[in-house]
Chain A
Amino acid sequence: MHNMNETNMTSQSQLQFSEARMAEIRELLTHYPENQSRSALIPILHMAQSDFGGWLSVPVMDYVASVLNLLPIQVYEVASFYSMFNLKPVGNYLIEVCRTSSCWLCGAEDITAHLENKLGIKVGQTTADGLFTLKAVECLGSCGTAPMMQVGANYYENLTISKVDSILEELKKENKYSRYC
């Protein structure tokens, strides 16, 4: 967990979107009527999660509330509703293996079991080096290319055991935080 905490603490101690991000947000707000800036909440939560360590801590959510001039509760209730928002720290790479029907039919459970063995963790856990978190998720719309997993913004499809191994090797080599938006 060492690396992960370090990453999270550094990024969370500077709770301020970059100037480029703020410009992106100003542009985003033009998509909605003037009195409806709350519409930008979900896109901005994605940006916050991406910029501040891969999860949404209470201070991060409070910061987003201040950016949009919302009550903190309006942010919490949304962040807790959607499954892509992590309310707890996750590893640098969040590996999400689809487990719903078509993927299950095509061997998703073997992929999950292999990942568990290979990473030495169970579903829902993070590796000790803070690099990987393993999650089982519901249908990601990749049923024709099952089994599949998503890491950050990337879809990895038609998985086999050896394909999973080479993906893990590649990610380890990169060893950087996978900003997804």
Chain B
Amino acid sequence: MSAKILLALDHIEGIASLPVYAQHGGYAVLKKVLSDISPQQVVEEVKISGLRGRGGAGFPTGLKWSFLARPEGVPRYLVCNADESEPGTFKDRYLMERNPHLMIEGMIISSYGLGANTAYIYIRGEYFYIARILEKAIKEAYAAGYLGKNILNSGFDLDLHVHVGAGAYICGEETALLESLEGKRGNPRIKPPFPAVQGLYNCPTVVNNSETLAAVVPILDKGGAAYAAIGIGKSTGTKLISASGHINRPGVYEIELGIPVEEFIYSDEYCGGIRNGKKLKAVVAGGSSVPILPADLILKTAEGAPRLMSYESLAEGGFQTGTMMGSGGFIVMDEDTSIVKNLYTFARFYHHESCGQCSPCREGTGWMERILHKILDGHGSITDIDLLWDIQKNIDGKTICPLGEAAAWPVASAIRHFRSEFEEYVLNPHLIEDVKHYYRLQTT
């Protein structure tokens, strides 16, 4: 298998329509699975593949599936998390827009493996036009007999529906998503019970990211072992990376896990280097939540080994010198970038998106935003930098859901690696050009 698995067909004209998708082998895997493979084997193949959740957490998908409770007479649900809201991430959008049937086929196979007869695609409200694309594709799949009752005479029934959200980052957290799907505020639930036991409508539920579910198709096509042979170590298969910021070729790239970060940034096959001949300053490698790394630490580990695009290599060095793969939202910053201002956009984001349930997050995110605003406004002091450090530390690990950590880590890593830049802002406020006007009008 080449590195192009999920995006192998994305360049083909009309691939979003079922006839064209079918011409290129679409739904052949579903047919094979329903006639030759048992649901247990589907779960087994996904386990063997080593596929990890592509939404950000990187939890082994097969293992997650194996936790699904199967009490007699209780419906089970599969929910696709297409709420893609992590700043820097736009791969699911690309995947669903270009090749919606791949994910739908993956969902049908997954539902068969899990014994779910109803599945939902929870998509962020702003992606209305993609919801329309998915609805059209689902209609085609029903008409072709791939959805509905007794699919391809297998005796397996599945209904699949698109459900739009309405603008809330927190609904990408799986229990908040389920609350939202039930028509409530997106407040995360306390775990346990996990969704695998009590999820949607209190029934056993699996929630998987769009890319994860699409990857189920190639896994069942060539087998879990073939998929596991791609990649490096426990980072098996391919990953969609959303590349943005100061690069020559922003976009969505499918990479074999394990290629060097340096190659990803500078190769013309991917980002194509830094825009305008500038130097690289820093990278946020996995979406806004993961620690920012300066150029030297993103290209090489603290030990001097080349840093690779894999779950393990990106995390090497822990939070002192490493980061995380996260959602694969790869944001590149050139030498002229203000790390403090960039952090401010993150802090403002997390303040806006905190659901307000846990006080460390509700109060802390706003507090961090206000301090950063004060620093950018030329009124900061050295003690404010220490205060920021203190606040993030008191959010980290003290909230029901991971939004707390997501808000804390960018602050911690920016101070850890770029403290001198914060000090510069505080000690030389007259050097701060033009931020006052802009940041006043942008504060909510």
Contact = CB atoms under 8 A, between A and B. Distances in A.
A91 to B, nearest CB: 18
Interface residues of A, number: 48
B345 A100 contact: yes
B238 interface: no
Contacts of B112: none
A146 B246 CA distance: 10
A124 B92 CA distance: 30
Contact of A138 (B75, B87, B88, B159): B87
Given A39-B182, A101-B345, A144 B85 contact: no
A99 B442 contact: yes
A144 B251 contact: yes
A72 B329 CA distance: 39
A15 interface: no
Nearest to A75: B183
Contact of B126 (A99, A100, A150): A150
Nearest to A96: B126
B20 to A, nearest CB: 24
A33 to B, nearest CB: 6
Contacts of B75: 33
Interface in A27-57: 31, 33, 36, 38-43, 45-46
A143 B250 contact: yes
B258 interface: no
Given A33-B201, A141-B89, A104 B341 contact: yes
A78 interface: yes
Given A105-B331, A105-B337, A41 B168 contact: no
Contact of B244 (A41, A45, A74, A102): A102
Contact of A83 (B93, B166, B288, B329): B166
B352 interface: yes
Which residue, of A123, A143, A155, has the highest number of chain B Cβ atoms within 10 A? A143
Nearest to B410: A101
A169 B404 CA distance: 43
B87 A144 contact: no
B100 to A, nearest CB: 16
B182 A143 contact: no
B161 interface: yes
Contacts of A67: none
Contacts of A39: 163, 181-183
Question: Shortest 8 CB-CB distances between A and B: which pairs?
Answer: A82-B166, A143-B244, A41-B183, A83-B167, A38-B183, A84-B167, A139-B87, A144-B250
